[in-house]
Amino acid sequence: MLHSILVHSHSGLRYIVLGLLIYAIFNAWSLRFNYTKQDKLINLFAMVFCHVQLLLGIMLMFLSDKVNYGEGWMKNAQTRFYGMEHLLGMLAAITLITLGRRFAEGKELPADKHKVIKKYYLIGLILILISIPWPFREVLGAGWF
């Protein structure tokens, strides 16, 4: 029951994370010469939702049957994906997004802030897209929601 609630929340939140990241990247891309409170909030929300996914993911690591470091886990595509590829890919992405936001906040010029967000969030987004167990990767046993 708890597992099912967590999986569906974690699975559905992917769309919010993807939407917010894409929005933040386009917003930074417009290369405006001001950095408003709204820019700050968009970048913050995109990062916060990544952190929510991280927390849900950590809980799922303990509850999921798909995470199993027993014998042969590296030879099985599903246990290798959730135990290593999904975990490391997402951790790298979330670290980049967190650092990118911090570096951007440290910059003086608005254009520099936008540039840093654009670069870090874009690399983070690409890593997230390739680390998601999309349903067409059937062996991973995940759904659209």
| Residues near ligand HEM (CB under 6 A) | 7, 10-11, 14, 17, 50, 53-54, 57-58, 60-61, 64, 66-67, 82, 86-87, 90-91, 128, 132-133, 142-143
- Tell the smallest beta-carbon distance from residue 122 to ligand HEM (Å): 14
Which of 2/34 has CB closer to ligand HEM?
2
Helix, strand, coil % in the chain, rounded to nearest 5 = 75, 0, 25
Q: Residue 107: which residues within 8 A CB-CB, separation 6 or more?
A: 113, 116
Helix H segments across the chain? 2-29, 37-63, 77-80, 86-106, 110-131
DSSP annotation of 142: -
- Tell the smallest beta-carbon distance from residue 72 to ligand HEM (Å): 18
Which of 11/112 has CB closer to ligand HEM?
11
Which of 4/30 has CB closer to ligand HEM?
4
- Tell the smallest beta-carbon distance from residue 86 to ligand HEM (Å): 5
Evaluated on CA atoms 26, 97, 39, 144, the torsion sign reads positive
Distance CA 142, CA 57 (A): 14
* Closest residue by Cα to residue 141 from 65, 56, 89, 61: 65
Name the closest residue to ligand HEM (Cβ).
Answer: 57
Which of 64/103 has CB closer to ligand HEM?
64
- Tell the smallest beta-carbon distance from residue 79 to ligand HEM (Å): 10
